[in-house]
Amino acid sequence: MDNGIVVEGLVREYKGGIRAVDGIDLEVAPGEIYGFLGPNGAGKSTTTHVLTTLLPPTAGRARVGGFDVAHQGAEVRRRIGAALQEAALDAFLTGREHMDLQAGLHGLSKAERARRGAALLERVGLTEAADRKVGGYSGGMKRRLDLALALVHEPAILFLDEPTTGLDPQSRSALWDEVGRLAREDGVTVFLTTQYLEEADVLAGRVGIIDRGHLVAEGTPDELKREIGGNSVEAVPANPDECGRAAEALVRFGEPAAHSTKGAAVRLRDGAEQLPEIVRALDDAGVRLAHLQLHTPSLDDVFLAKTGRSLEGAGEREGAEDADRDPEPVAA
Amino acid sequence: MTSTAQQVGLVARRSLKRTLRQPALIVPTIVFPLFLVAINSSGLNSATKIPGFPTDSYLEFAITVPFIQGAIFAAITAGTELATDVESGFLNRLQLTPLGRTSILFGQLAGATAVALLGALTYLVVGLAAGVTIHAGVLGTVVLVLYAVFAAVAFSGVGAVLGARTGSPEAVQGAFPLIFVFFFLSSMNLPRNLIDVGWFRTVATWNPISYLIEGLRSLIITGWDVTALARGLAVATAVLVLSFWAANRALATRMERT
């Protein structure tokens, strides 16, 4: 059975002609963790809603687990689990009652519901809190319960829409461990949307970067970083008047980089081994350094290179943000 | 694969649990109609002296009102609960399971129906304790409770339409005064033939709520009045069919899943 995802020219348009998703092509191999990275309003959640059959596509095709999302919704739903952006839980039910309801709706017998519910609650560390009402759970506990609920019918493909947003570092790390284990040990295909660079870097085998509804880059995190060049070095003089001299001294080591606001930066042509030479060149130019830093490229650098904007906070400037989060549908 | 009946049962159990765990949702909806009937029956008792008034106890005349008010509260409860599920994303969680739309609709109304049943039993006990006699006897008392619950189920469909269409609990609650206007413009406080103001009598005659009240009231003050009962049940059935049809359509629009 094919447990992958294939998307071809996917479009989702909302009222007023806003295209939250505008012609996306991507493929996710069975058992792979695919990171779908982008700022708020980029189209991540809309893509997830289409792939999980909650929204019909306006144009294009998408097959999930070998089935067409537009025409074989029930088959797709049978094979997927999803923890959407809002951990939609009932504050008046306990964790165990949530598991029982979800497992029951997926057709599990009463005995199987109890067994599977207890096993999953233990796996996500909620056994002790299982009989407490969810209204009293912390954000991390809710996210873990949400993940357990998505796994109750043993799906082959898991959609996680910003699963760690708002979590403390400890809860985030625990969730990463569990997602990694699911792909590694159980062979579950994971489609993970995130706006956290670190999350995509740590978890994803491959990353797709989406901006304003378009996929602007795709590859492994290392490939994407290599694509935009090697390390960069930033020199911040103690005296701001020496910035020009610092830039002149650095220019022979590579292309100027834009990320320094207090000094000068270049993307190194030959790598980190040039550092001693750089220090000597700055010294020869009479630049007294306050700070010298070697930067390894991040996915934010990739985003910056592809879109001309930094990923951090890019969504706040996006007009399409509301469209992605609170869609007003039009006939597809 | 879970059968439709099992699906409805699972959703209904969840609806019941969450409703019964919210005392703030239950207590006012049961207590408020009792206050209203207590005030009305003491303030309007002299109405029984009007020639042609069908009983000499205004309490017996007015005790019907809480039962129908309970049905209207059921509409608000059902609508608010469904809208909360839309707003919180819980409806998306349900949509991602093999659950059918009709199962969601019927299951979701269980909580509101339970509150209506609890209310009907409370009004019955309070009424009997206050000296109300149910002229249709023991069987009539059973029919009275079933009638009230049936009306509550019918009106909860109206709430479900509002909840599914707006997806906002606040918007559903905002519609409450409008529904209450219909309630007051009925034969709630006086028999229609004794309403002196012409336009009011006309509105009350066209208002289906009047027939709901009169059907229920007949069991208490008359005994077995088949015409009044049939009219009341016909109104409840019409509300049920229309509201569930509209709620199903509204939910279909809300649930865009493929």
Contact state of B98 with A70 under an 8 Å Cβ cutoff:
no
Q: Has residue A59 been placed in a domain?
A: yes
Strand order in the sheet with A232-237: A254-256, A264-268, A232-237, A289-295
Question: Which pLDDT score, from 0 to 100, does residue A86 have?
Answer: 78
Q: What is the DSSP letter of A329?
A: B
Helix, strand or coil, per DSSP, at residue B59: helix
Taking a C-beta distance cutoff of 8 angstroms, is the pair A25, A7 a contact? yes
Taking a C-beta distance cutoff of 8 angstroms, is the pair A14, A323 a contact? yes
Contact state of A102 with B7 under an 8 Å Cβ cutoff:
no
Task: Give A125 to chain B, closest Cα distance, Å.
Answer: 22
Residues with Cβ within 8 Å of B118's Cβ and at least 6 positions away in sequence, in order, are B26, B30
Quote the CA–CA distance of A6 and A64 in Å, as a whole number: 7
Q: Has residue A107 been placed in a domain?
A: no
Q: Has residue A104 been placed in a domain?
A: no
Detail the DSSP E strand segments found in B49-183.
Answer: none
Q: What is the pLDDT of residues A242-277, one digit of tens each?
A: 888 888 988 888 888 766 677 888 888 777 788 889
Q: What CATH number should be reported for the domain holding residue A12?
A: 3.40.50.300
Q: What is the DSSP letter of A3?
A: -
Q: pLDDT band for A305, please (50, 70, 90 cuts).
A: confident
Taking a C-beta distance cutoff of 8 angstroms, is the pair A176, A198 a contact? no
Q: How far apart are the first and last CA of chain B?
A: 19
Q: Are residues A23 and A145 located together in one domain of the fold?
A: yes
Task: Give A53 to chain B, closest Cα distance, Å.
Answer: 5
Question: Which pLDDT score, from 0 to 100, does residue A273 have?
Answer: 81
Q: Which of A88, A92, A104 sits opposite B89 (nearest CB)?
A: A88
Q: Are residues A147 and A292 located together in one domain of the fold?
A: no
Q: Are residues A173 and A269 located together in one domain of the fold?
A: no
Question: Which pLDDT score, from 0 to 100, does residue A260 have?
Answer: 67
Q: What is the pLDDT of residues B14-43, one digit of tens each?
A: 999 998 899 988 888 889 889 888 888 888
Q: Has residue A99 been placed in a domain?
A: no
Q: Has residue A248 been placed in a domain?
A: yes
Q: B101 — contact with chain A (CB < 8 Å)?
A: no
- pTM value is 0.82
**pLDDT for A322 beyond 70:** no
Question: Which pLDDT score, from 0 to 100, does residue A313 have?
Answer: 59
For residue B71, give the H/E element and its range: helix B64-88
**pLDDT for B1 beyond 70:** no
Quote the CA–CA distance of A327 and A16 in Å, as a whole number: 11
Quote the CA–CA distance of A315 and A323 in Å, as a whole number: 12
List chain B residues with CB under 8 Å of A134.
none
**Quick one: B57 exposed, middle or buried, by C-beta within 10 A (0-12, 13-18, 19+)?**
middle
Q: Are residues A156 and A289 located together in one domain of the fold?
A: no
**pLDDT for A323 beyond 60:** no
Query: How far is Cα of residue A149 from the mean position of the Cα atoms in its chain?
Result: 20
Detail the DSSP E strand segments found in chain A.
Answer: 5-14, 18-28, 33-37, 59-64, 67-68, 80-83, 157-161, 189-194, 206-211, 214-219, 232-237, 254-256, 264-268, 289-295
Contact state of B97 with A74 under an 8 Å Cβ cutoff:
no
List chain B residues with CB under 8 Å of A56.
256, 258
Q: Which residues in chain A (48-67) have CB-CB distances under 8 A to chain B?
A: 52-56
List the single best residue of A84, A90, A145 to mutate versus B (max B Cβ within 10 A): A90
Task: Give A191 to chain B, closest Cα distance, Å.
Answer: 16
Number of domains in chain B: 1
Q: Has residue A20 been placed in a domain?
A: yes
Strand order in the sheet with A18-28: A18-28, A5-14, A59-64, A67-68
Quote the CA–CA distance of B173 and B25 in Å, as a whole number: 12
Q: A132 — contact with chain B (CB < 8 Å)?
A: no
List chain A residues with CB under 8 Å of B92.
54, 84, 88
Domain that residue B153 falls in: 4-254
**pLDDT for B63 beyond 80:** yes
Question: Rg of chain B over CA atoms, in angstroms?
Answer: 19
Q: Kindly tell me the number of DSSP H helices and DSSP E strands found in chain A.
A: 12, 14
Domain that residue A207 falls in: 5-89+137-225+321-325
Quote the CA–CA distance of B148 and B236 in Å, as a whole number: 10
- The arithmetic mean of pLDDT across residues A288-304, rounded, is 82
Question: Which pLDDT score, from 0 to 100, does residue A259 have?
Answer: 63
Residue among A135, A140, A132 at smallest CA distance from A178: A140
User: A265 phi and psi, to 5 degrees?
Assistant: -140, 145
Q: Are residues A206 and A148 located together in one domain of the fold?
A: yes
Q: What is the DSSP letter of A156?
A: S
Q: Hey, what are A268's tokens? A: 């190194």
Residue among A53, A37, A31, A12 at smallest CA distance from A312: A37
Helix, strand or coil, per DSSP, at residue A309: coil
Quote the CA–CA distance of A240 and A30 in Å, as a whole number: 53
Q: Are residues A151 and A263 located together in one domain of the fold?
A: no
Q: Are residues A191 and A251 located together in one domain of the fold?
A: no
Task: Give A135 to chain B, closest Cα distance, Å.
Answer: 11
Contact state of B10 with A84 under an 8 Å Cβ cutoff:
no
Q: What is the pLDDT of residues A228-250, one digit of tens each?
A: 767 888 889 988 888 888 889 88
Number of domains in chain A: 2
List the single best residue of A51, A89, A105, A147 to mutate versus B (max B Cβ within 10 A): A105
Instruction: Find the angle CA(A73)-CA(A332)-CA(B106) to the nearest 5 degrees.
Output: 55
List chain A residues with CB under 8 Å of B257.
53-55, 73, 77
Q: pLDDT band for A172, please (50, 70, 90 cuts).
A: confident
Q: A82 — contact with chain B (CB < 8 Å)?
A: yes
Q: B10 — contact with chain A (CB < 8 Å)?
A: yes
Q: Which residues in chain B (148-177) have CB-CB distances under 8 A to chain A?
A: none
Q: B94 — contact with chain A (CB < 8 Å)?
A: yes
Q: What is the pLDDT of residues B173-205, one digit of tens each?
A: 998 888 888 888 999 989 999 998 999 999 999
Q: What is the pLDDT of residues B108-158, one digit of tens each?
A: 888 889 889 999 999 999 999 999 999 999 999 999 999 999 999 999 999
Q: A325 — contact with chain B (CB < 8 Å)?
A: no
Contact state of B21 with A92 under an 8 Å Cβ cutoff:
yes
Question: Which pLDDT score, from 0 to 100, does residue B207 have?
Answer: 95
Q: Which of B1, B2, B17 sits opposite A92 (nearest CB)?
A: B17
Q: Which residue, chain included where needed, has tokens 């002196």?
A: B196
Q: Which residues in chain A (215-274) have CB-CB distances under 8 A to chain B?
A: none
Question: Which pLDDT score, from 0 to 100, does residue A275 have?
Answer: 86
Q: Which residues in chain B (54-83) have CB-CB distances under 8 A to chain A?
A: none
**Quick one: A41 exposed, middle or buried, by C-beta within 10 A (0-12, 13-18, 19+)?**
buried
Q: Are residues A173 and A201 located together in one domain of the fold?
A: yes
Contact state of B6 with A56 under an 8 Å Cβ cutoff:
no
Question: Which chain B residue is nearest to residue A98, measuring alpha carbons?
Answer: B14
Q: Are residues A156 and A280 located together in one domain of the fold?
A: no
Q: What CATH number should be reported for the domain holding residue A249?
A: 3.30.70.260
Q: Has residue A40 been placed in a domain?
A: yes
Q: Are residues A263 and A283 located together in one domain of the fold?
A: yes
Q: What is the pLDDT of residues A80-107, one digit of tens each?
A: 999 987 778 999 999 999 999 999 999 9
Quote the CA–CA distance of B26 and B29 in Å, as a whole number: 5
* β-pairing verdict for A189-194 and A33-37: parallel
User: A188 phi and psi, to 5 degrees?
Assistant: -75, 135
Residue among A30, A17, A33 at smallest CA distance from A194: A33
Helical packing angle, B64-88 and B208-221, nearest 10°: 130
Q: Are residues A69 and A141 located together in one domain of the fold?
A: yes
Q: Which residue, chain included where needed, has tokens 């619950």?
A: B149
Q: A92 — contact with chain B (CB < 8 Å)?
A: yes
Residue among B163, B189, B19, B149 at smallest CA distance from B79: B163
Q: Are residues A273 and A200 located together in one domain of the fold?
A: no
Question: Which pLDDT score, from 0 to 100, does residue A328 have?
Answer: 39
Q: Which residues in chain A (17-46) have CB-CB distances under 8 A to chain B?
A: none
Task: Give B84 to chain A, closest Cα distance, Å.
Answer: 10
Q: Which of A73, A85, A93 sits opposite B14 (nearest CB)?
A: A93
| Distance (Å) of CA A92 to CA A89, A98, A288, B83 | 9, 10, 63, 16
Taking a C-beta distance cutoff of 8 angstroms, is the pair B122, B114 a contact? no
Contact state of B14 with A107 under an 8 Å Cβ cutoff:
no
Question: Which chain A residue is nearest to residue B5, measuring alpha carbons?
Answer: A105
Question: Which pLDDT score, from 0 to 100, does residue A314 have?
Answer: 60
Residue among A26, A31, A34, A37 at smallest CA distance from A198: A37
Task: Give A32 to chain B, closest Cα distance, Å.
Answer: 22
